[in-house]
Structure 1
Amino acid sequence: MTEIPKTDYKLGQDNVRVLGLDIHNPVFVVSSLGIIAFVAGVLVFQAEATAAFGALRAWLMSTFDWVFMGAGNFFVLFCLLLMATPLGRVRLGGADARPDYSRSTWFAMLFAAGVGIGLMFFGVSEPVEHFLQPPLGLEAADTAAARLGMAGAIYHWGIHGWAIYAVAALSIAFASYNLGLPMTLRSAFYPLLGDAVWGRFGHGIDILAVFATIFGLATSLGLGAQQLAGGLAHLWGTPTTDTIQVLLIAGITGMALTSVVSGMEKGVKRLSEANLWLALLLLAFVLMVGPTLDIATRTVTSLGHYLAAIGPLSNWVGREDLHFMHGWTIFYWAWWISWSPFVGLFIARVSRGRTVRELIACMLIIPTLTIAIWMNAFGGTAVSQYVDRGHLDVIAAVQAQQPEIALFALLETLPLASVTSVIGLVLIVVFFVTSSDSGSLVIDTITAGGKLDAPVAQRVFWCVFEGLVTVALLLGGGLVAAQAAITAAGLPFALVLVALCYTTWKGLRATQTDRAG
């Protein structure tokens, strides 16, 4: 077994300290200038950007669908392999390391970072849309469509997506805690490349990570702004213009800045816990006042349908439902992949002391079960209201291509709608702030060469520009622009993550003596 060579690299040795900043050269410079140029270009040439994003999205999804589908399946198999081998007993941080956070707090932080606003946006609308246009060529709006539609929704939010996060989180945590390297994505390649990771190759990896992260975050923040504006309009008749959405993005980004300045312990930790409790409160309400027994039964059966459908949904050869694959699955895998540097680094920061098996098992199983309950409580209730009672509220919203109001349309059919709708709005805001806050901390860590205590001004810079990129994508084509941006950013990162699997395997095998008992 080959021993991993030691390195003389010192944390921050390539950093430039100027004007009170502590930035990594050239990662910060190239990343920040690239983002500034993108924002300026899109805002100045909005019409041209809209056309370009539309063409780019169509080309990427039709040309490189095999890359995303194949990579998604590979990551699941890799995670299962690690869990089944003795490498799963390796403890992040060494045999004597113990977790820094309780399991409930740890799960709250990884779940809030991992699902973000998307679950609020798609939790009702996606099962309904798959019910109306089911995958694999099924007939629409019947019992079989409801079952497979729910399986398709869980498929997009379940094991495949979390396996992508697990690969990134595990590789970064192992490199940082077991090899003593800076907490950046480049460090994960050290078992394979040695000191070469501190050169141009490493710079390129970290720059790609910044771009993927910021476009992935901007997509989520854009969905959050769209849903928040839609909820306000649905409840109180406020306008849903681009100006209103820009003002919402600006206001909530300002709230995120307060949390960014507070840091990990006071900001992100408290927001993540508040996020989880608010989500559980809303979920508990729907479970109690909705068709409780039906939700419980559907959750169990939908998990069975999901496991049965994983094979057909994952196999893109010979499929006729290309709309489902290109319009949904490819977008989701690109979204998960573009979020992986952010979520992976964030989860790595809070996962010291966990074993490889514990990290993977918790990231694959618990979120999938939670998401199945959420989807069945919200989306499943909307479908059953239509099938059993003929309620058209949510169905009409989805058919009118207004998925942002689907949640509020559902809550209106339940008791205490005025209260729960406000809770829904607050939850969207908190998810928005948590994502922006966590993303700023992660991007700052990458662009500060792995430093966890870089000056606050740098985190403020990235938080502001996350908001500006969100505004640029909103004005440059909306969801189509966001899909094009994250697919373009996610494509090279899919290959990076495949390489990460090999280097992580190599590193774990070389340090098998550092294992949990």
Structure 2
Amino acid sequence: MKKLSKTFYITIGLIILAAGYGALQPESFETVTTTIKSFVASSFGWYYMLLMTFMLILSIFFIFSPYGKIRLGKDTDRPQFSTITWISMLFSAGMGIGLVFYGAAEPLSHYAIDPATAEPNTATAFKESLRQSFFHWGFHVWAMYGVVALSLAFFQFRKDEPALISATLKPIFGRKMEGPWGILVDVLAVFATAFGVSTSLGFGAVQINAGLNYLFGVTIGIVPQVIIIAIVTVLFLASAWSGLSKGIKYLSNTNLILALALLGFVVLLGPTLLIFDMFTDSFGGYLANIVQMSLRTAPLNTTNREWLETWTIFYWAWWISWAPFVSMFIARVSRGRTIKEFITAVLVAPTLLGAIWFSAFGSTAIDIQKRGIADLAQASTELTIFEMFHSMPLPTIISIIAVILIACFFITSADSATFVLGMLSTNGSMTPPNKVKLVWGITLSVIAIILLSVNGLTALQNTIIIAALPFSFVILLMIGSLLMGLKKEVKQTKTKK
């Protein structure tokens, strides 16, 4: 454990304070964080909308700019992983478990419960529900992840800097990033990552518990959820111990196969023609309305503004808070690819997969709701997908695949997180010691268990969203630093010629 940095000890201290507050005073913790979160959403909504739109524009610029030919690494470097494995890693670490959790529930909510602008249970609400789901999980999110990951990968592999968020800011601040200011930036990144993944573990345990309840009658409650987290912890620590090229690689490929199998079942056993029609029409609507959706703040409509704060602005803050973890992981597995190849794949592949996923699961759930087969809108979020399967052929088989897939995504996300946290807390080591990953793995699981036991996941989610605001300023500095570095790189290349 000699490689541990000050970042590790400071962050562990902050985690103990925050988790302790949440455990001992759960109601106070939730009240305080909800108040601050509401203030951030209402006061900085315009900022989040502009920031995420800027990320998308910048990503498109990188694809077509002269910078696109620059390789993330030395000129002789080539990718470590095949394209399929690489994309499966992006999908698994980025938002795989979220797609299973919200794949049916979010479009259904936008259709039957809380549409963005349309009347509930109408054809307009149906189309809008899918467009909004594509928007919340699509180009903007992956543009943000891609730009942050690009900055990390460029400085790590092209400039031989350590794998730290603070290292990307050296072109602007120089050696100051090796002192207290750099530690502050890295502590913020580690804090957001640790709590973000802990929240995801908690939600994952709740949904696995719901699936086991549906399949085998397992009681829904804290005891089975703790057992689920304990079992998954052992599995993801075993995977983390085996290293990036074995554990995460094989799990990610398994995830992709299972996800495609589950998707195939839903497409074939659900309203197949409707799914393809809705995907085509809604994705076209998404592209046609993307500018208006990107900049909509509804300043003169209180109801629409509240919807935006609850959904879009919440999502933008949520994804930004996940940027240190997801982008760091994406950067780590992308060495050897050109900027054009990197940004294009990160932007397009997960967005298309997500759109197809929401079209299949969302259209199926809404069709069941419309035809009165089941009232899925009354089901809890974690149960929606299983109630949907119950109304389809072969419900047990599909549900078993779904539970296994959730567990695999669960393990992969936690595995990836321990790897990233290990990097960030060992001065940017590309191969963090197994003992450090073990400490982080246990820490993540303990946080999830503590907060599940006191119903503190909502407050924890609020905390992460609050942390997204200061980190968004770090992202802007990373972009400025990246542009400086790329400009200098092109100039040096021309000089050599």
Distance in 2 separating the partners of 1:55 and 1:318: 20
Equivalent residue runs for 1:114-513 within 5 Å: 114-133=94-113, 135-314=115-294, 315-318=296-299, 320=301, 321-387=304-370, 389-397=371-379, 402-512=380-490
Distance in 1 separating the partners of 2:300 and 2:319: 23
Distance in 2 separating the partners of 1:319 and 1:117: 36
Distance in 2 separating the partners of 1:135 and 1:167: 31
TM superposition shift of 1:134: 5.3
The structure-2 alpha-carbon separation of the partners of 1:217 and 1:164, relative to structure 1 and needing over 3 Å to count, comes to same
Letter in 1 for 2:297: W
Letter in 2 for 1:386: Q
* Preserved CA contact (<8 Å) 1:116 1:220: no
TM superposition shift of 1:135: 4.5
Distance in 2 separating the partners of 1:471 and 1:33: 18
Distance in 2 separating the partners of 1:224 and 1:139: 32
TM superposition shift of 1:317: 4.6
Deviations 1:245-299 (A, max 9, x none): 2332222122211111111112111111111111111111112222222212211
Q: Aligned pairs, how many?
A: 491
TM-score by length of 1: 0.91
Aligned partner (choices 31, 36, 40) of residue 20 of structure 2: 40
Distance in 1 separating the partners of 2:114 and 2:14: 40
Secondary structure of residue in 2 paired with 1:451: coil
* Preserved CA contact (<8 Å) 2:68 2:339: yes
TM superposition shift of 1:477: 4.1
Distance in 1 separating the partners of 2:300 and 2:211: 37
Deviations 1:27-54 (A, max 9, x none): 1110112112222332222333233333
* Preserved CA contact (<8 Å) 2:419 2:432: no
The CA RMSD measured in Å over matched residues stands at: 1.9
Distance in 2 separating the partners of 1:103 and 1:242: 40
The structure-2 alpha-carbon separation of the partners of 1:394 and 1:136, relative to structure 1 and needing over 3 Å to count, comes to closer
* Preserved CA contact (<8 Å) 2:113 2:377: no
Distance in 2 separating the partners of 1:72 and 1:352: 25
TM superposition shift of 1:170: 0.2
Secondary structure of residue in 2 paired with 1:22: coil
TM superposition shift of 1:197: 1.7
Distance in 2 separating the partners of 1:96 and 1:169: 21
Letter in 2 for 1:93: G
* Preserved CA contact (<8 Å) 1:94 1:177: yes
Distance in 1 separating the partners of 2:402 and 2:21: 35
Aligned partner (choices 27, 40, 61) of residue 60 of structure 1: 40
TM-score by length of 2: 0.94
The structure-2 alpha-carbon separation of the partners of 1:136 and 1:420, relative to structure 1 and needing over 3 Å to count, comes to closer
Distance in 2 separating the partners of 1:509 and 1:45: 51
Distance in 2 separating the partners of 1:290 and 1:484: 36
* Preserved CA contact (<8 Å) 1:27 1:206: yes
Distance in 2 separating the partners of 1:98 and 1:266: 19
The structure-2 alpha-carbon separation of the partners of 1:28 and 1:212, relative to structure 1 and needing over 3 Å to count, comes to same
Aligned partner (choices 59, 64, 82) of residue 84 of structure 1: 64
TM superposition shift of 1:495: 1.2
The structure-2 alpha-carbon separation of the partners of 1:498 and 1:476, relative to structure 1 and needing over 3 Å to count, comes to farther
* Preserved CA contact (<8 Å) 1:169 1:347: yes
TM superposition shift of 1:236: 2.9
Distance in 2 separating the partners of 1:22 and 1:271: 28
Percentage of matched positions with identical amino acids:
37
Structure 1: segments with no counterpart, 5+ residues:
1-19
Letter in 2 for 1:332: Y
Distance in 2 separating the partners of 1:423 and 1:331: 30
Secondary structure of residue in 2 paired with 1:94: coil
* Preserved CA contact (<8 Å) 1:117 1:223: no
The structure-2 alpha-carbon separation of the partners of 1:77 and 1:317, relative to structure 1 and needing over 3 Å to count, comes to farther
Off by >6 Å, runs of 4+ in structure 1:
none
Aligned partner (choices 59, 78, 97) of residue 98 of structure 1: 78
* Preserved CA contact (<8 Å) 2:167 2:177: yes
TM superposition shift of 1:140: 1.1
TM superposition shift of 1:194: 2.3
Letter in 1 for 2:9: V
* Preserved CA contact (<8 Å) 1:67 1:494: no
Distance in 1 separating the partners of 2:456 and 2:47: 25
Letter in 2 for 1:446: L
Distance in 2 separating the partners of 1:514 and 1:146: 52
* Preserved CA contact (<8 Å) 2:11 2:190: yes
* Preserved CA contact (<8 Å) 2:152 2:163: yes
The structure-2 alpha-carbon separation of the partners of 1:414 and 1:514, relative to structure 1 and needing over 3 Å to count, comes to farther
The structure-2 alpha-carbon separation of the partners of 1:67 and 1:483, relative to structure 1 and needing over 3 Å to count, comes to farther
TM superposition shift of 1:309: 2.8
TM superposition shift of 1:473: 3.4
Distance in 1 separating the partners of 2:70 and 2:109: 42
Letter in 2 for 1:333: W
Distance in 2 separating the partners of 1:455 and 1:80: 37
